[in-house]
Structure 1
Amino acid sequence: MPEGKIVKALSGFYYVLNENGLVQCRARGIFRKNNVSPLVGDEVVYQAENDKEGYVLEIKDRKNELARPPIANVDQAILVFSAVEPDFSTVLLDRFLVLVEFNHIHPLICITKIDLITNEQHNAIELYAQAYRTAGYEVILTSSEKETGMQLLSPHLENKISVFAGQSGVGKSSLLNTLKPDLELKTNDISTHLGRGKHTTRHVELIKVGNGLVADTPGFSSLEFTNIEAEDLTFCFPELHKASENCKYRGCLHLKEPKCGVKLAVESGEIPHYRYDHYLDFLQEIKERKPRY
């Protein structure tokens, strides 16, 4: 049986890419019966009715999957955040990072619209960028308008499935249009009244950019920590996890426990206060989450 990768899902059809091109497939009823849906990014076995049509028979094991956006086997998430319009938000970035880390997806932080900021704002953004780099993240500063930083971003896309995700209006589609001008993805200006953009992307599709595949998605429509437990959260903050090796007690949640390595690292300035504050806020949110039955 032939095999391929689902690169687009739309209106009940799954478009499977193989070495000869695209085959439009429907999913067999057994998937619905087992409450399983094929996802963009899935490696599948299919039965071909002809060169252009067929049926998905089997979904290969996934290394990860996201519910919203619905995509599987993601290698990395390009987290796109603007320096301004809307303003750069560390709390929103940290929320995205936690979700990506929890799903075992490699994150890359991309800060856009640096052509719109003053020297003072640029210095502030550089300080944030350095803090995240110290935590272990790669950070790239870009401008689609000036095509700044594209030479740094492009190599990261090679031979990977990448998801572009972030707040509405930060320039995800503009970035992709700059990387691959023939895409002509729709973009919307920011609403000055709301201070945010409108979603311009309607479905998940993997687009070939260089030798990689990129999903321009509507972003995470849910940023809730539904499946993350309190004990998991430290692992989603790399610098906190590293500092926790110096905690006196195993299972330390870095709240009021004595001789906590994380709190010592915060006090010494090794970990920025805002990262620790966000950790505490997220921990409280997880603890107050209503139980699911």
Structure 2
Amino acid sequence: MPKIPLDQWIEKLVSFLADNLQFLFDFFKMVIGGAVGAFSWVFHLLPFYVWIGIFAVIAYLVSRWGLAIFTVIGLLLIENLGYWDHTMDSLALVVTSTLISIIVGLPLGIWCARRDGVRNVLTPILDFMQTMPAFVYLIPAVTFFGLGVVPGVIASVIFAVPPTIRLTNLGIRQVSAELVEAADAFGSTPGQKLFKIQLPLAAPTIMAGINQTVMLSLSMVVIASMIGAQGLGADVYKAVTQLKIGEGFQAGLAVVILAILLDRLSQGMMKKDKKRR
């Protein structure tokens, strides 16, 4: 049986896109690079102790003293180990990836909830995006966008956006049919039903999807460093390649602290939202 030349087809497709849509990729590179640079500038604008205070206040507001104390101790440890600047670079990458994932994922999730055909088409695509090894995404990303932080963000979005789409779709579909019928009976428009009934009631499920997206974006930090993205991932990657176990543990610990902080903050926001309801 002759072998299917799938690899050649993929390479021809990538070459075709690179030759004919480079202007579009350059535009995305400028926008995404500008966004990462802007967030990085903001996170480096204030001294570390000011940001620690800001994060501690946010942690207290969403989860009281326990998370606030952990925030102060964890971030002070990161500063003491000398990874503050790189942590802020990684945070800028995660924030940018998460925002893009939300901007893309929420409308697609709403569309899936309204159209079974769209859901049936997108579901296998999302399965493919989540199960394909993340390293594979780096190859076309580098081809289209070159080395640096932008292909890392693109790969992060591809890997991290499926939970937002899936759980937005699930949350809206779980809204009581009786409530939707009552809204129809009172003459609500589709937009009114969406923004006043479905999205508010689906908010906890949607926030759970966003929480997963944040964590998946952070998990791509180390992988993105392989193609030039700066931050904690670059420290971990350098330690691995040079077999520096101690430095690798320190950089990895900074990633863990940042991951726990982002996870607890997003979960605390979800709990706050539930209490208001």
- TM-score surpassing 0.5? no
TM-score normalised by the chain length of structure 2: 0.24
The structure with more strand, counted as a fraction of residues: 1
The structure with more helix, counted as a fraction of residues: 2
Q: Work out which structure has the larger RCO, using CA pairs closer than 8 Å and 6 or more positions apart in sequence.
A: 2
